């Protein structure tokens, strides 16, 4: 048994997401080095760091895409370290943009409905057997969740268009809608603005902040400026280690953070 240090910003026991000494090695190289995170209910946490800091490795160890070499991941207290990715999604750990699939040949509405339906069935949120709900009620619940999501992402008036006809920014909205449709307790995003220009990047961050305001969010991002206005707290990773966790203001003023960024590769 090891005792673990909670992260230095929220030494909290009621973390939605917790990593304990999370470590991932690739051969001799330590990509992730004893990382402790505690993300509370409703918190918007950003994890930032220069390219190569270990952000995606951390993200993958949390989603289950990658097995950590040592350490643990807990979701609502439960040890999910060895749980398959789809199992984690069912537990309420939301899929990210990257692994959500938009079907180009289906309409916007059909895409959202499929996502809403998949969770309604697999989670048993709308019980199939021994249910008070008739198939019609279930259909209506999925339909109304679909409508809600379409209006939340601002695509209600484009719901009958094929997904492949959407402009890049609208496609991102739809991808966000697919995450929302599964009603996750924790939403995790790895560089959701990758490949976007300045204006679209800002709009996407505003959209995330707006649409996901009520959710617990873990956003991985290399652009430090981008997350400063929207995050409740920021964790800085550097060379696989947590440099610091704190409020955006405290992190921005931190000398070590400045150095990591100036010393690291920054695009």
User: Do the beta carbons of residue 247 and residue 233 sit within 8 Å?
Assistant: yes
When the beta carbons of 17 and 58 are compared against Mg ion, the nearer one is: 58
User: Do the beta carbons of residue 31 and residue 240 sit within 8 Å?
Assistant: yes
The one of Mg ion, ligand ADP, none whose footprint includes residue 46, by CB under 5 to 8 A per kind, is none
When the beta carbons of 115 and 188 are compared against Mg ion, the nearer one is: 188
56 binds ligand ADP (CB under 6 A): yes
54 binds ligand ADP (CB under 6 A): yes
Report how many residues bind ligand ADP under the rule CB under 6 A: 11
User: Do the beta carbons of residue 39 and residue 76 sit within 8 Å?
Assistant: no
What is the dihedral sign for C-alpha 54, 51, 184, 234? positive
The one of Mg ion, ligand ADP, none whose footprint includes residue 57, by CB under 5 to 8 A per kind, is ligand ADP
DSSP letter, residue 195: T
> Binding marks (x or -) toward ligand ADP, 21..40, rule CB under 6 A?
-----x--x-x---------
Q: Site for ligand ADP (CB under 6 A): which residue of 35, 49, 186, 224?
A: 49
When the beta carbons of 55 and 172 are compared against ligand ADP, the nearer one is: 55
188 binds ligand ADP (CB under 6 A): no
- For residue 220, the minimal CB distance to ligand ADP (Å) is 7
The one of Mg ion, ligand ADP, none whose footprint includes residue 53, by CB under 5 to 8 A per kind, is ligand ADP
Distance separating alpha carbons of residues 80 and 68, to the nearest angstrom: 12
Q: Which residue is nearest to Mg ion (CB)?
A: 56
3-class DSSP state of 47 = strand
Q: Site for ligand ADP (CB under 6 A): which residue of 5, 51, 131, 151?
A: 51
- Whose CA is closest to 5, among 27, 34, 31? 34
- Whose CA is closest to 205, among 224, 186, 182? 224
Distance separating alpha carbons of residues 173 and 48, to the nearest angstrom: 23
Residue ranges that bind Mg ion, judged by CB under 5 A: 55-56
When the beta carbons of 56 and 146 are compared against Mg ion, the nearer one is: 56
When the beta carbons of 69 and 107 are compared against ligand ADP, the nearer one is: 69
User: Which structure tokens are listed for 85?
Assistant: 């990715």
Distance separating alpha carbons of residues 184 and 92, to the nearest angstrom: 5
User: Do the beta carbons of residue 204 and residue 238 sit within 8 Å?
Assistant: no
User: Do the beta carbons of residue 4 and residue 20 sit within 8 Å?
Assistant: yes
Q: Site for ligand ADP (CB under 6 A): which residue of 46, 57, 146, 233?
A: 57
Residue 207 Cα distances to 43, 107, 153, 187, 213, angstroms: 16, 21, 8, 14, 9
218 binds ligand ADP (CB under 6 A): no
Q: Site for ligand ADP (CB under 6 A): which residue of 37, 39, 53, 120?
A: 53
Question: What residues make contact with ligand ADP under the rule CB under 6 A?
Answer: 26, 29, 31, 49, 51-57
């Amino acid at each position: 048994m090891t005792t673990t240090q909670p992260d230095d910003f929220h030494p909290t026991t009621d973390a939605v997401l917790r990593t304990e000494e999370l470590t991932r090695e690739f051969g001799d190289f330590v990509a992730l080095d004893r990382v402790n995170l505690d993300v509370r209910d409703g918190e918007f946490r950003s994890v930032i760091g220069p390219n190569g800091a270990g952000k995606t490795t951390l993200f993958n160890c949390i989603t289950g895409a990658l097995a950590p070499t040592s350490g643990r991941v807990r979701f609502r207290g439960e040890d999910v370290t060895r749980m398959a990715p789809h199992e984690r999604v069912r537990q309420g750990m939301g899929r990210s943009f990257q692994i959500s699939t938009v079907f180009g040949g289906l309409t916007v509405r059909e895409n959202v409905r499929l996502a809403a339906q998949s969770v309604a069935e697999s989670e048993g949120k709308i019980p199939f057997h021994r249910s008070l709900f008739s198939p019609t009620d279930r259909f209506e619940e999925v339909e109304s969740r679909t409508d809600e999501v379409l209006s939340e992402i601002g695509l209600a008036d484009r719901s009958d268009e094929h997904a492949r006809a959407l402009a890049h920014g609208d496609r991102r909205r739809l991808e966000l809608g697919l995450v929302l449709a599964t009603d996750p307790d924790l939403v995790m995003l790895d560089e959701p603005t990758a490949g976007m220009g300045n204006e679209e990047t800002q709009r996407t961050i505003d959209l995330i902040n707006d649409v996901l305001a009520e959710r617990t969010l873990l956003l991985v991002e290399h652009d430090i400026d981008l997350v400063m206005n929207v995050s409740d707290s920021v964790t800085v990773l550097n060379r696989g280690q947590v440099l610091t966790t704190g409020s955006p203001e405290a992190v921005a003023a931190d000398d070590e953070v400045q150095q990591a960024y100036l010393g690291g590769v920054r695009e």
